[in-house]
Amino acid sequence: MNPSEKEAIVANLPYGDGFKFVDQLLELTDDHVVGMYRFRESEYFYKHHFNDRPLTPGVILQECMAQIGLVCLGAYLLRDRDQKPRLVFTEAHVIFKGQVLPETTVIVTAKKEYFRFGKLKVIVQMVDEHENKVAEGWLSGMSVKS
């Protein structure tokens, strides 16, 4: 896949700037996706999540994994459909193993476990820029008409 196709997937994600947790897709195939996001100190949730030492909420980390692992991979897998369905997050089992502080870049890797009948399940992992594991588990989603 060429860089402009990856950029188009990121540009067309159904999220506004305040809730898009994908900066770049590094790899994207029928079987896996690797993407990254930098959690900037200016993110809205840091102002209120532990006032004395801001920390990225786990739900936001899981959302980042879902956007890269499910929505981006799903958009790629559904790219040849006449209608452009969206993949929505439906289920997860994620174990957190580390923290993400402001100004940390994370890398999300998701491997397709299955994609059938509009349902996608991926095995997902998040590491920080120093390759420390932040989270791992599985996520699933399903396509819905836009």
Q: Which ranges of the chain would DSSP assign to H, the alpha helix?
A: 3-11, 58-66, 73-77
Q: Which ranges of 43-134 would DSSP assign to H, the alpha helix?
A: 58-66, 73-77
Can you list the domains of the chain with their CATH numbers?
3-144 (3.10.129.10)
Enter the tokens of residue 129.
Answer: 């820029």
Could you tell me which residues come within 8 angstroms of residue 91 by beta carbon, excluding any fewer than 6 positions away? 139, 140, 141
In the predicted model, residues of the chain with pLDDT beneath 50 are none
Q: How far apart are CA 29 and CA 37, in angstroms?
A: 19
- Which residue has tokens 């890797």? 109
- Which residue has tokens 């349902």? 119
Say which amino acid occupies 43. E
Q: What is the sign, positive or negative, of the torsion defined by CA atoms of 75, 76, 77, 83?
A: positive
Beta-sheet strands, E only, within 29-78: 32-39
Our answer to whether residue 49 is catalytic in this structure is: yes
Q: What is the pLDDT of residue 81?
A: 74
pTM of the entire predicted model: 0.94
Report yes or no: 100 and 134 within 8 Å, Cβ to Cβ: yes
Q: What is the pLDDT of residue 23?
A: 97
Catalytic residue among 32, 49, 93, 130: 49
Q: What is the pLDDT of residue 86?
A: 80
